[in-house]
Amino acid sequence: MKSSGIYFFIALLWTVAVSCGKPMENPDPLVVTQDTFRYETSKLVMGADLSYVNAIEENGGTFYDSLGKKTDPFVFLHDKGANLVRVRLWHNPSWQNNLYGSIKYSHLADVTKTIKRAKDAGMSVLLDLHYSDNWADPAKQETPKAWLNLNLQTLKDSIYNYTTKVLNHLKSQNLTPEYIQIGNENNGGMCHPVGKITGNNYSNFGQLLASGISAVRNFSSNSTIKPKIILHVAQLQNSDWWANGVTSQAGITDFDILGLSHYFLWSTVSKNTDITKTISDLTTKYKKKVMIVETAYPWTSQSADGYNNIISGQNAVDGYPVTKEGQLKYMTDLTQAMISGGGVGMIYWEPCWISSNLKDQWNTGSSWENNTFFDFTGKPLPVIKYMKHRYTF
């Protein structure tokens, strides 16, 4: 070997040694190089409610990765650690005819599309049955128009048959959900007035729940995928009395998971230590797994459009400023608090509801774009890193 070749070889070895001892610069600060880590749902459900995504994309909303490349939010979020998609289903949202000229979103065809996108991206699915034509929440639980004025027995049959029909449809498309929610934020019952909770009378509500549960269990007997059943109540301060009423008064114990909504703006349980204790107490008392199926936190108090935001950011939680970094810290700490109490999952509500030309019943745009995983230009925010954080179990 010639001397010049020896010098070149030595220089080459030195360059390789230095480069091996120094991490390569990552051009994308939101990407951990070669980090394929993702929680399995059996360990920790890390979910996102993506019910609005089809509508947003069809009305001009576009999502990008942090390098500015257009991306599919289902694929992108799975890459960032999401392992489950939650999607709501309305019975017959005919009110959409006034907005779009037809029924377009959150009906069975749209939900089928969402579930396919989720499964194609490699994620599990939580199907949220509202048993209503519109939003079902603590303030409103309207019976579908098709079921109005039915007596209790006929309403029970309708819930059973509808639940079975939906599941059979999805199974025929190889889209059976891994989880199913029987109702949404049912603090006051479901399908009012028949299924309304009045005082300590949970009887009718319990019978309606039982019909939905029975439909799922009977479906599961002939299904490879056997959906886990979730019952859902809003806000941690309501969880114990509600779960007690459902199990003791209504006698409903055949479910797998107690699902909670946790929004700081409406919660009186806000300290992480109290969140941990509440979830731990629920797990111990009711012998059920507990999951936060809805939550969010703002990254800005600003707005991208003329639609007033639901959470403005003025009433931030102490220690968690309404900033990009504050949003990440809040979600990371909340997830750890939930896990420390024995909780099994964290699902963020509508992290992709960015501003677009989408109309709803109140305005055009978004009333949630300051709580999303994407900024006002459609690029991802640091908050997504909480999904791959290594938590303590």
- Above 90 in pLDDT, residue 11? no
CA 322, 140, 186, 127 torsion: positive or negative? negative
In b/e form, how buried is each residue of 263-289, taking b as 16+ CB within 10 angstroms?
bbbebebeebebbbbbbeebbeebebb
**Amino acid 34: pLDDT:** 55
Q: How many CB atoms lie within 10 A of CB 35?
A: 11
Euclidean distance between the first and the last CA atom of the chain, given in angstroms as a whole number: 58
Q: Percent of the chain, pLDDT > 90?
A: 89
Answer whether 361's CB lies under 8 Å from 95's CB. yes
pLDDT in tens, 329-362: 999 999 999 999 999 999 999 999 999 999 999 9
**Does the pTM of the predicted model rise above 0.95?**
no
C-alpha 161 chain-centroid distance: 26
Known catalytic residues? 185, 294
**Amino acid 10: pLDDT:** 38
- Above 50 in pLDDT, residue 321? yes
Domain boundaries, the chain: 41-388
Give domain 41-388's CATH architecture.
Alpha-Beta Barrel (3.20)
pLDDT in tens, 326-335: 999 999 999 9
Please report where in the chains the tokens 């109702």 appear, as a residue.
Answer: 183
Mean pLDDT is lowest, of 24-28, 92-96, 214-218, 342-346, for 24-28
C-alpha 113 chain-centroid distance: 17
**Amino acid 235: pLDDT:** 98
Answer whether 296's CB lies under 8 Å from 348's CB. yes
- Above 70 in pLDDT, residue 188? yes
